[in-house]
Amino acid sequence: MNPYSHTPSAQTRTDWRVIRSLMPYLLEFKVRLVSVIVLLVLAKLTNVAVPLVLKEIVDAMGKPKAMLAIPVFLVVGYGLLRLFSTLFGELRDALFAKVTQRAIRRVALQVFEHLHNLSLRFHLERQTGGVSRDIERGTRGISFLLTFLLFNILPTLLEIVLVAGILFVKYNPWFAIITFVTLLIYVIFTLVITEWRMVFRRTMNDMDSKANTRAIDSLINYETVKYFGNEHYEVQRYDEQMQRWEVSAVRNQTSLATLNAGQSIIIAVGVTLLMLLAADGVVKGTMTIGDLVLVNVYMLQLYMPLHFLGFVYREIKNSLADMERMFRLLDENREIQDAPSALPLKLHGVAVRPRHGAAEPTGAGVAASHPLPQTADSVSNVSGVRFEKVRFSYEKSREILHDVSFDIPAGHTVAVVGASGAGKSTLSRLLFRFYDVDGGSISIDGQDIRSVTQASLRAAIGIVPQDTVLFNDTIYYNIAYGRPDASRDEVIAAAQSAHIHTFIESLPQGYDSMVGERGLKLSGGEKQRVAIARAILKNPAILIFDEATSALDSKSEKAIQDELRSIAMNRTTLVIAHRLSTVVDAHQILVMDKGAIVERGTHRNLLEKQGIYSQMWALQQQEEH
């Protein structure tokens, strides 16, 4: 199952809660909604009036010499009623279209935004294929639910009441009694069987999401599948899931046949009893031929929608089941949230305002549209970044960081080195506040990052990650992602600084070249230089280089290192590195081992200590030679 399906509150969400959650979207268009309801009632009134006029026509035509005196007025009225019945329905659909589509858009947007606000922990555990399929089915379910709940169930119930009322007033009470009893039996049967069938539908949905997840996961990792020649293995795994889906789908279909057969029997018995009663009335002279036609037409008008009502109810239940999984995403709580009193992060006394129109609390000091350019003078009084006795664990049973404390003075560069799994990259995740620390604190310019807004915090930090993942769009788009409002000249300047402009210009489409899914059309070094250009364009006050040159060859690395030093000058910079040759100029080097800082100092100091750093340096020097 998807991880979000375990949320306790999601398990208790009822169908009525799902329906109520859509009400705000309907009430947004109050005038349209009132107009739709008026048209709905008018359509049903004209529909119910049609058999009454038809009865009068039949009775008039049954009189002697009727062919010589055709009731033109009644025939014209009959045609107009038929016309208006259809016309009112079409106008109703046209008016309601905007309400439905706006609701779909708003809910999809709400879910999408909520997904981006969930923690990194959720996204590391999620299954993309399953989540995307749940959203797709859920939004489709909204359209069906709104349309058929309002346009089929309510009108059909209204028509049933009107028809039963006419039959009760004009004819033998048994007509109304048989109608209501048939309706009651039909509804009870439909509810019981539909609830029984929903188990199969939910299982089928679950299997469908899992199969889709497996397929997407396999296709995303296409190269890995090819490396190991596991195409047949992937097909088998996909087929295992599809087999389970097939079993559920067959059960769903056979149970549907049972429901349809039962409904048809109930309706057939009800119609037969009513026609026998009407025929008996004609024979006894208490009813005319027109009355017989009236009852017959009413039965067709009543039970055909009633039969459709069963289908609609089933589909609404199916839509609710589809929407249920989507709404569980909204029940997923945010692990990392802004404090109620959170204010924008301040650098040099000026609040950082996020780009892209991100919502921020208003208050004094909110001025800069993005972090201010750095100079030696402007940063001299800024305290920089401080980690103070930080403890953290991804899982409670295994602590990753143990009382980690260090300062990065403003305008200085601090490098963190150590073996894989020492906790180096966790530092950058905590600084971005993808997770909250379990103990201790992290502060920027004296402000605990938990007390400032996440948007302003992340606007002030730029990163060049070790594993660069690009959007399936153009190279220009991926560089401009660092600051989407940047001019083309600024994007090109950033590419030149990252030493990738010449390569881009050599491509047939230049900056408009597509990079492929996750940037697979580019080499590792090319992707990393795009990431560097993106960070340069963002122009942040704080920089993180997480193995920023690990995918580059020695020549490119040296050129990029010079550029990175220039970018980092007078900025607060955290460098996470494996190759020690890339950090020799850092103001301070931290050596981490098993989640703790075991050594610290400059490159020269650490070599003189003849400790872990000195051993790492000697080993890497041997490897390079």
Please report the pLDDT score of residue 129 as a whole number.
57
> Contact 491/476 with Cβ under 8 angstroms?
yes
Q: Is 356 exposed, middle or buried (0-12, 13-18, 19+ CB in 10 A)?
A: exposed
Which pLDDT value is given to residue 472? 86
* Buried b / exposed e along 477-491 (16+ C-beta atoms within 10 A): bbbbbbbeebeeebb
Q: Transcribe 562-574 into DSSP letters.
A: HHHHHHHTTSEEE
* Structural element, H or E, at residue 488: helix 488-497
- Quick one: pLDDT at residue 624? 64
Tell me if 572 sits within 8 A of 348, measured CB to CB: no
Tokens at residue 452, please? Answer: 């400032």
Structure token digits, residue 7: 């949320």
3-331 and 346-460+540-624 share one CATH topology?
A: no
Q: How far apart are alpha carbons 232 and 240 in whole angstroms?
A: 12
Closest by CA position to 334, among listed 260, 426, 219, 433? 433
Which residue stretches of the chain have pLDDT < 50?
1-13, 66, 68, 357-382
Is the Cβ–Cβ distance between 439 and 609 less than 8 Å? no
Asked if 463 and 572 touch (Cβ cutoff 8 Å), the reply is: no
Q: What gap in Å lies between CA 580 and CA 417, rounded to an integer?
A: 7
pTM of the model: 0.62
Find all residues with CB under 8 Å of 26, minimum gap 6, and list them.
33, 99, 103, 146
Q: Left if phi > 0, otherwise alpha if psi is -120 to 50, otherwise beta: which for 243?
A: alpha
Residue ranges per domain, the chain? 3-331, 346-460+540-624
How far is it, in rounded angstroms, from Cα 475 to Cα 507? 11
With CA atoms as reference, report the closest residue to 414 among 400, 399, 431, 402.
Answer: 431
Token digits for 220? 């995303």
Question: Reading across the β-sheet that carries 596-601, which strands appear in turn?
Answer: 461-464, 542-546, 572-576, 413-418, 588-593, 596-601
CATH architecture group of domain 3-331? Up-down Bundle (1.20)
Give 241's Cβ-side CA count (13 Å radius). Answer: 18
Tokens of 281: 């009335």
617 φ/ψ sector (left φ>0, alpha ψ -120 to 50, else beta): alpha
**In CATH, what class is 346-460+540-624?**
alpha beta
Quick one: pLDDT at residue 15?
Answer: 65
Q: What is the Cα–Cα distance from 388 to 404, expressed in whole angstroms?
A: 6
3-state class (DSSP) for residue 593: strand
Q: With contact defined as beta carbons under 8 Å apart, do 402 and 391 qualify? A: yes
The sign of the dihedral angle between the CA atoms of 127, 130, 133, 139 is negative
| SS3 labels along 272-337 | HHHHHHHHHHHHHCCCCHHHHHHHHHHHHHHHHHHHHHHHHHHHHHHHHHHHHHHHHHHHCCCCCC
The sign of the CA dihedral 470, 471, 477, 483 is negative
Strand order in the sheet with 350-352: 346-347, 350-352, 366-368
Helix axes 289-331, 154-170, angle to 10 degrees: 150
Beta pairing, strands 572-576 & 413-418: parallel
Say whether 597 sits in a helix, a strand or coil: strand
Write phi, then psi, for 35 (nearest 5 degrees).
-60, -40
The pLDDT mean for the chain works out to: 78
Cα–Cα distance for residue pair 400/596, rounded to 1 Å: 9
